[in-house]
Structure 1
Amino acid sequence: MTDRTPTADSDADPAVRRLDDWDAAELRSLADEYDTPAYVIDLDRIRQNYRRIAAAFDAAFDDPTVMFAVKAHSGRAVMEALLDEGAPMECAAAGEVFRALRAGADPDEIQYTGVNPPDDDLDYVVGVWEDAPEMTLNVGAEDSVERLAERGFDGRLCLRVNPGIAAGHHEKVKTGAHPKFGIPYDAVPDVVERVRAEYEMDVVGLHAHAGSGMLDEDMDAHAEYVGKMGDLAREVGDLDFLDIGGGFGVPYRDDEDPLDIDAVAERTREALGELDATLKLEPGRYLLADAGCLLATVNTIKDTPETTVVGIDASMTTLIRPAMYGAYHGIRNLTNPDAPVEPLTVGGPVCESSDTFCRDRPLPRPERGDTVAIGHTGAYGYAMASQFHSQPRPVEIALEGGEARVARRRETFDDLVRLEE
């Protein structure tokens, strides 16, 4: 563990941290010490983000539960920081349950949300539940209820609802109207009635999720689906909680405004109405996105008739969001920020035309060996990294209390073949 100056003023809590707010000298120092590509995750910033959203919903609701959607980042250091803040873990796969338990989560406070859950997943989570009877299992099909009953489950059950309303930054993450997710809205009352009559399970909650990365323009859809879920919860009755999912976005572009999370919480309360059940929500991206950045080194400069190509040592295997979603991530030259600006195409070493982080974006022209930072990579960054193209996954550096440490070591070539041996 290395002593360092904190990345940001620990007394400040801006609604969003922009890429330019990171300390360039510190990031260059981290790149020199730990090599690149390297993920940097600021645990103090994650704590700030959690406290802000928890305070906003505490002010609007009576005793809400703000969980952490583990799929955004399943690293132990991140989960430990959020567990320390009191956040229960919302897990969308058995492996996430396993990792949450390893990080110290109380199994009674874990919520498992299975989407077309494989048999092995159900076997594992029911096994955990047998020793933790307050654990809540959340499923989105009546078929999954039957499969749980076959395994002897008779505990706390939540049903995922498809509200027919979707929102989010990309079609691939708009879940609220996709048939894959949840029981059709109009069918839910009958399903609840059958489950209560035919199975020895306690239906304690309903759940829905509109999508991921919602900003101001999505708040009308958010309010509409929250209102529908409030109506449904009142119709079903006798619930402990209503889980409205997460999906609160952060601005990846400098010209986008951050959510006023206090206003979002108040509008959620107004849309929901009076309800004899507590509120749950499960942010992921909101807590993590601006707490992370990705460091990379320039290795190639190639002028072509169409564009200038800048090759870096990070790739779509390191950060897949630009290739998968066309997502925008800010890019900052940490070594030569005042170099002449020109349209640049920045890409990695993978033999795919999709392995680009931007195309013809005006940026300071780098030189070979320059360090660059890619912003807003804390959520769905390392979590979606892969070994495609036999690329070892990068090191992850955690910042906390003015110190840096390795949260996950860099993979080696030996790691690529370890399971084959």
Structure 2
Amino acid sequence: QYALDTGVGWFNVENVTELKIINTLAGQRGRKARIALRLNPNVTANTHPYIATGHGGAKFGMTEEVITNILARQTEYPHVDIQGVHIHIGSQLGDAEATLQALNKALSIIQPYTNINTVNIGGGLPVAYHPDETVPDIAAFANAIAPSLTDYTVLLEPGRSIVADAGVLITRVLYTKEQGGQQFVIIDASMSDLIRPALYQAYHHIVPVHASDEDITLKQVVGPVCETADIIGRDIALPNVQEGDLLAILTAGAYGMVMASNYNARPRPAEVVVQGGVWSIARHRETWEDLVRLEVE
């Protein structure tokens, strides 16, 4: 309702029930909602299984049969304007092959319908989390996909590829210890601040804020919460760090703060925006009072 009232440009519809609800709400407001139908193309992307969204077993989108049926019965939805198809198949895609497969399937479905003028190819443009990692750039994806889209307006969702490298999580060393033949660095950041390593086994490069090449060894960088999975970095090459030293966890601008939580009653950290040599606080550090504000006495 809020989206309709504020004039959101597109609704990417995931299922028939959602389409019916939008049609009803738009009718109550005397307007038409612009719709894209999200296709589940049954294509498995070359990425981590937790962020692959276009395979047949995924919860996302609608099958070819369902979308074909909707398009054949558009008159049953007089308060929506079906103008697009959407095919987001996953994140951190290693190549454009799966996207092209999904796109070709989508185009075969919509080709008979002249009212479909827009194709949203979703996201998936990758970033390099490891300094030695090589990922295809946007030009490689564009060159593979663009020739099929000359007759359509193209939308895309490049979020991670824009913001990931713009964010750094700064953390302080609380303690160090050796145990089980490993060197542990316990930091004040945890999986509650950056859950990607625990959730996706994701790698984030970690470096000391004050660079040093002395006595580099492999260390386990872990958080202080009571979860075995609270490991921010495994076998990270670091110098001998001490209590109070600052570390920078890189490429944390995407799926970092937006996935943070208050697990273990941990207030979330502040967010600071740096432009050139000028910095400003974008989000204040949470306090204990913030954590209990919604509690009912």
* TM-score using structure 2 length: 0.92
The structure 2 residue matched to 1:256, chosen from 133, 144, 160, is 133
Q: Deviations over 1:330-352 (max 9, x none)?
A: 01012352231222111111010
Who is 1:27 aligned against?
A: none
Specify whether residues 168 and 365 from structure 1 end up closer, same or farther in structure 2 by C-alpha distance, changes over 3 A only: farther
Q: Which moved more, 1:135-144 or 1:334-343?
A: 334-343
4+ runs of 1 displaced by more than 4 Å? none
Who is 1:339 aligned against?
A: 214
- Deviation at residue 365 of structure 1 after TM alignment: 2.3
Q: Deviations over 1:304-347 (max 9, x none)?
A: 13311100000000100000000000010123522312221111
The structure 2 residue matched to 1:243, chosen from 106, 120, 130, is 120
- Deviation at residue 168 of structure 1 after TM alignment: 5.1
- Deviation at residue 243 of structure 1 after TM alignment: 0.6
Q: CA RMSD in A?
A: 1.7
The structure 2 residue matched to 1:396, chosen from 256, 271, 283, is 271
Determine if the alignment matches structure 1 residue 206 to structure 2 residue 85.
Answer: yes
- Deviation at residue 409 of structure 1 after TM alignment: 0.7
Amino acid at match of 2:81: D
Determine if the alignment matches structure 1 residue 223 to structure 2 residue 97.
Answer: no
Specify whether residues 274 and 414 from structure 1 end up closer, same or farther in structure 2 by C-alpha distance, changes over 3 A only: same
Gaps of 5+ in 2: none
Specify whether residues 233 and 274 from structure 1 end up closer, same or farther in structure 2 by C-alpha distance, changes over 3 A only: farther
Q: Find the aligned partners of 2:104 and 2:214 in 1 and give their Cα distance.
A: 51
* Count of residues in Structure 1 that have an aligned counterpart in Structure 2: 290
Between Structure 1 and Structure 2, which shows a larger proportion of helix residues?
1
Amino acid at match of 2:50: K
Q: Find the aligned partners of 2:224 and 2:164 in 1 and give their Cα distance.
A: 24
Specify whether residues 251 and 366 from structure 1 end up closer, same or farther in structure 2 by C-alpha distance, changes over 3 A only: same
Who is 2:287 aligned against?
A: 412
Whether the aligned pair in 2 keeps the contact of 1:344 and 1:365 (CA below 8 Å) is no
Whether the aligned pair in 2 keeps the contact of 1:206 and 1:242 (CA below 8 Å) is yes
Gaps of 5+ in 1: 1-122
Specify whether residues 342 and 386 from structure 1 end up closer, same or farther in structure 2 by C-alpha distance, changes over 3 A only: same
- SS in structure 2 at match of 1:324: helix
- Deviation at residue 399 of structure 1 after TM alignment: 1.4
Whether the aligned pair in 2 keeps the contact of 1:167 and 1:214 (CA below 8 Å) is yes
Q: Find the aligned partners of 2:294 and 2:106 in 1 and give their Cα distance.
A: 45
The structure 2 residue matched to 1:158, chosen from 12, 16, 36, is 36
Q: Find the aligned partners of 2:206 and 2:47 in 1 and give their Cα distance.
A: 20
Amino acid at match of 2:103: V
Q: Find the aligned partners of 1:186 and 1:139 in 2 and give their Cα distance.
A: 15
Determine if the alignment matches structure 1 residue 125 to structure 2 residue 3.
Answer: yes
- SS in structure 1 at match of 2:17: helix
Q: Find the aligned partners of 1:228 and 1:337 in 2 and give their Cα distance.
A: 52
Specify whether residues 304 and 183 from structure 1 end up closer, same or farther in structure 2 by C-alpha distance, changes over 3 A only: same
Determine if the alignment matches structure 1 residue 189 to structure 2 residue 63.
Answer: no
- SS in structure 2 at match of 1:205: strand
Amino acid at match of 1:137: F
- Deviation at residue 136 of structure 1 after TM alignment: 2.0
Whether the aligned pair in 2 keeps the contact of 1:168 and 1:210 (CA below 8 Å) is no
- Deviation at residue 161 of structure 1 after TM alignment: 0.8
- SS in structure 2 at match of 1:419: coil
Whether the aligned pair in 2 keeps the contact of 1:227 and 1:273 (CA below 8 Å) is no
Q: Find the aligned partners of 1:231 and 1:402 in 2 and give their Cα distance.
A: 51
Written as runs of structure 1 = structure 2, the 5 A alignment for 1:57-76 is none
Who is 1:348 aligned against?
A: 223
Q: Find the aligned partners of 2:26 and 2:145 in 1 and give their Cα distance.
A: 37
Specify whether residues 143 and 409 from structure 1 end up closer, same or farther in structure 2 by C-alpha distance, changes over 3 A only: same
Larger relative contact order, structure 1 or 2 (CA cutoff 8 Å, min sep 6) = 1
- Deviation at residue 284 of structure 1 after TM alignment: 0.9
Specify whether residues 306 and 187 from structure 1 end up closer, same or farther in structure 2 by C-alpha distance, changes over 3 A only: same
- SS in structure 2 at match of 1:151: helix
Structure label with greater radius of gyration: 2
Q: Find the aligned partners of 1:336 and 1:268 in 2 and give their Cα distance.
A: 42
Amino acid at match of 1:338: D
- Deviation at residue 298 of structure 1 after TM alignment: 0.6
Amino acid at match of 2:84: G
Amino acid at match of 1:239: I
Q: Find the aligned partners of 2:85 and 2:241 in 1 and give their Cα distance.
A: 52
Amino acid at match of 2:212: P
Who is 1:135 aligned against?
A: 9
Determine if the alignment matches structure 1 residue 383 to structure 2 residue 262.
Answer: no
